[in-house]
C-alpha cells in the first residue's frame, strides 16, 4: 500500500529558529515522485518542490532545503531562519508512475512566533 506519514501534527517555533518537517513514505514502486506543498491561511496549496525516486540529491532554495533519503523512505523539509510568513500547513505527497493520483500526508501545521 502507498502511504505518506507526517507524524508532526503541529509545530511552534520562535522566529529565526530552524525547523524541520518530517515526511515518511511507503511504496513498493521503484519509480515514484515526492512533493511538498504549502497551504497558507488563504487556503490555496502552493507547490514547493518535486523529487523523483532516482534523484537523491538534496536541494536548497533560499531558506528552504530538502533531504531525500531512500534508505529511510524519508523526504524531510527544513526551513532555516524561520519567518512569520512561513506559518502555514505543509503537506508532503507521493505520486506513482502507474496512475494519476497523488497521495497526501495529513499535513504539519507550522506556527512561527514573533
61 in contact with another protein (CB under 8 A): no
* DSSP strand pairing (10-14 vs 59-61): unpaired
The Cα-based distances of 29 to 22, 69, 95, 99 in angstroms read 21, 15, 10, 12
Return the C-alpha cell found at 64: 528552504
Angstrom distance (rounded) from CA 110 to CA 113: 10
Residues that bind another protein (rule: CB under 8 A) add up to a total of: 26
For another protein, give the closer residue by CB, 30 or 114.
Answer: 30
Closest separation in Å from C-beta 27 to another protein: 12
> Which residues are paired to 3 by β-bridges?
26
* DSSP strand pairing (10-14 vs 64-69): unpaired
Closest separation in Å from C-beta 23 to another protein: 12
28 in contact with another protein (CB under 8 A): no
35 in contact with another protein (CB under 8 A): yes
64 in contact with another protein (CB under 8 A): no
Under a CB-based contact definition with an 8 Å cutoff, are residues 66 and 57 in contact? no
Site for another protein in 80-99 (CB under 8 A): 91, 95-99
Residues of this chain that interact with another protein (CB under 8 A) are 9, 32-33, 35, 37, 42-47, 50, 52, 91, 95-102, 104-107
Amino acid at each position: 500500500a502507498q502511504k505518506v506519514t507526517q507524524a508532526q501534527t503541529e509545530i511552534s517555533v520562535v522566529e529565526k529558529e530552524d525547523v524541520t518537517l518530517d515526511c515518511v513514505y511507503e511504496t513498493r514502486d521503484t519509480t515514484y515522485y515526492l512533493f511538498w506543498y504549502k497551504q497558507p491561511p488563504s487556503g490555496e496549496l502552493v507547490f514547493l518542490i518535486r523529487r523523483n525516486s532516482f534523484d537523491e540529491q538534496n536541494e536548497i532554495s533560499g531558506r528552504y532545503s530538502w533531504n531525500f533519503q531512500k534508505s529511510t523512505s524519508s523526504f524531510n523539509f527544513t526551513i532555516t531562519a524561520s519567518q512569520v510568513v512561513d506559518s502555514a500547513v505543509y503537506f508532503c505527497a507521493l505520486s506513482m508512475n502507474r496512475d494519476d493520483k497523488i497521495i497526501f500526508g495529513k499535513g504539519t501545521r507550522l506556527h512561527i512566533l514573533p
